[in-house]
Structure 1
Amino acid sequence: AQRLLNSLTAAEKAALAAEQDRASRASADRVQLGNSTPASGRAGAAFSAAQTKIGSPYVYGATGPSSYDCSGLTSWAYAQAGVGIPRTSQAQANAGTRIYSQSQLQVGDLVIFYGDLHHVGLYAGNGQVLHAPRTGTVVRYESINNMPFQFGVRI
């Protein structure tokens, strides 16, 4: 991925940066989360903690307090709610009760993506996930449908 990024022209890099900036601003400005209820008091507390980190940069391996990777954000958020969960997305996938139907997800549930379970976020309600997407982005809301959903995990 870094090799590909290094091969971009200055104009392509500027266009990519502008698109990422627009996506991050749009995420914070236009997300309608609806009136979903949290899975539990702990899930609600974890979700509330994660919301305070919107705009924090993604850094691979980071667990806060100023930058995060995907599982670093979710483990940090649950720790703020007094709940210890494993550090990696693959381990978090086995940390609670699996939920295979998106319609059964509740705010604060972990949401696992990709066949190898390498990405995790927090369900935000109304088809949105709060997550730390990847290098070059920030913690933000995004449609759950932008990535291949595998299942949710209720802690």
Structure 2
Amino acid sequence: MDPLAQLKDIHIPEAINNYPLAYGWWILLMITIVLIALAIHAVIRHRKVTKFQREAIKRLSLPIENNDEIIITLKWAAIQYFPRQTIAQFHGEQLIEFFLKHLPEKHHEKFKKLSQNGFDHRYHPSESSLDNDLLQAALLWLKHALPTKNNAKAEVSHD
């Protein structure tokens, strides 16, 4: 007698179904969805808060004819983040002091050095040419002073 003849056919086990998922997978899925939603919300909020900062930097990257355009762009950007009544009246040294007040301490000297000549000669007709140092000071202020920490928490609602 053949021992192999006594063997029975091989039966494949029934397929294991993956559904319903275990509770742990549902919890992990919900946590992932919430984290993705929070990340999207944070990105949208950050873009909304930095909208005017980016726009001012973009304006300064366009061809500029004189220092007055740089100062006007800086003042416009500041008005978008600070109360208009505070900034609109500032000019000259008051404006420089305002910019320094809202700039981190470590950048004060560099900003003063780069911007002083441009602000001092703003109203001199012979000094109507573009001052690259003032442009660098403006970009420094826009990148490091805006948006303010207060406005990062409260969404800016300018459209």
**Normalised by the shorter chain, which TM-score bucket?**
0.3 to 0.5
- Which structure: larger Rg? 2
Instruction: State the structure with bigger RCO (CA 8 A, min sep 6), 1 or 2.
Output: 2
Q: TM-score, normalised by structure 2?
A: 0.32
Q: TM-score, normalised by structure 1?
A: 0.32
Q: By percentage of residues, which structure has more helix?
A: 2
